[in-house]
């Protein structure tokens, strides 16, 4: 994972996702990742392929990968 930005109660990580091309894509990815336990915020940007996730604790990359796959896209890795 990226060196997360930690505060006492949150962890922020940025992931690279391939295949997003529009606002609908951003919404699909955001919705799936938002369902993961502990996630408090998700911001997907199709133009860069970056998805910023804020959560209560560090997320398992495989859980994020599964959520991105469910949305129909591919998790490339972390930024």
Q: What is the pTM for the complete model shown?
A: 0.88
Q: What share of the chain is helix, strand, coil (3-state, %, to 5)?
A: 30, 40, 35
Q: Pick the closest to residue 54 from 40, 67, 68 (CA basis).
A: 40
| pLDDT value of position 1 | 43
Do residues 29 and 76 make contact, with C-beta atoms less than 8 angstroms apart? no
| pLDDT value of position 6 | 52
| pLDDT value of position 9 | 84
Do residues 49 and 61 make contact, with C-beta atoms less than 8 angstroms apart? no
Per-10-residue mean pLDDT of the chain, 79 residues long, equals: 61 97 98 98 98 97 98 96
- How many whole angstroms separate alpha carbon 25 and alpha carbon 11? 24
Domains of the chain with bracketed CATH: 15-48+63-79 (3.30.70.100)
């Amino acid at each position: 994972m990226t060196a997360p930005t930690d505060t006492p109660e949150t962890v922020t990580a940025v992931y690279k996702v391939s295949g997003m091309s529009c606002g609908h894509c951003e919404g699909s990815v955001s919705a799936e990742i938002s369902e993961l336990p502990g996630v408090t915020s998700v911001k997907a940007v199709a133009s860069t392929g970056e998805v910023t996730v804020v959560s209560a604790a560090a997320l398992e990359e495989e859980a994020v990968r599964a959520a991105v796959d469910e949305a129909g896209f591919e998790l490339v890795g972390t930024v």
